[in-house]
């Protein structure tokens, strides 16, 4: 089947495949044009249509970013836990803290991604984290300045930017409407935020 692809078409296929495997979602036509120096979207569309016709990819023309790989090249998927309220004294991944499981590319595990958490509120919007976003979190108990962390304070989880200041920790909101939280003791770091997953309604 590859004999019927031009060099440029094969390069386009490899770009789409690698993009999906790395990021977990498909590139847009503009992404393809920009990253591959394709001069027009019509040229990119012709490559995509050829790949679709020959069975390399699948595409729903009614939906943007709908490119998917054929089954033999599909991205391996695993399910990771989505954490709800954290019960006092329990490990973060205890069964009673898990509300559901969410499928993500297997490659995310190589980055240390351990669990997801649904964001409530708008205190981190200037960091690109919005209400109802799902954040990808690496489970760890240490944090460094400027890390965005999931912390547990008085049995409530919060997502803030971490700063250590002499005898206290400052958990800084990324929204000027909110004041920082200062913690002198009993702060538990649950993990470091590595990414955001957002579904548009």
What is the set of domains in the chain, with CATH numbers?
Answer: 2-70 (1.10.10.10), 80-197 (2.10.109.10)
85-138 pLDDT, tens digit each? 665 556 677 677 888 888 777 777 777 888 999 888 999 999 999 998 889 999
Residue 70, pLDDT > 50, answer yes
pLDDT at 2: 44
pLDDT at 19: 87
pTM greater than 0.85 (yes/no): no
Mean pLDDT of 145-163: 91
Give the active site residues.
123, 160
pLDDT band at 51 (very low <50, low <70, confident <90, very high): confident
Tokens matching residue 57: 């990819």
């Amino acid at each position: 089947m590859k004999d019927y692809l031009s060099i440029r078409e094969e390069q386009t296929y490899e770009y789409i495949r690698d993009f999906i495997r790395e990021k977990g979602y498909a590139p847009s036509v503009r992404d393809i044009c920009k990253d591959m120096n394709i001069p027009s979207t019509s040229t990119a569309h012709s490559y995509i249509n050829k790949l679709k016709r020959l069975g390399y990819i699948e595409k729903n023309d009614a939906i943007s970013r709908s490119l998917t790989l054929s089954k033999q090249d599909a991205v391996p998927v695993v399910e990771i836990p989505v954490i709800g309220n954290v019960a006092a004294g329990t490990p973060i991944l205890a069964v009673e803290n898990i509300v559901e499981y969410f499928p993500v590319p297997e490659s995310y595990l190589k980055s240390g991604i351990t669990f997801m958490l649904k964001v409530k509120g708008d205190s981190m919007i200037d960091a690109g984290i919005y209400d109802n976003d799902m954040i990808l979190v690496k489970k760890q108990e240490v944090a460094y300045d400027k890390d965005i962390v999931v912390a547990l304070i008085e049995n409530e989880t919060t997502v803030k930017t971490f700063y250590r200041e002499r005898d206290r920790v400052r958990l800084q909101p990324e929204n000027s409407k909110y004041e920082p939280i200062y913690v002198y003791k009993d702060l538990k770091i649950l993990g470091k935020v590595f990414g955001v997953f957002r579904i548009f309604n």
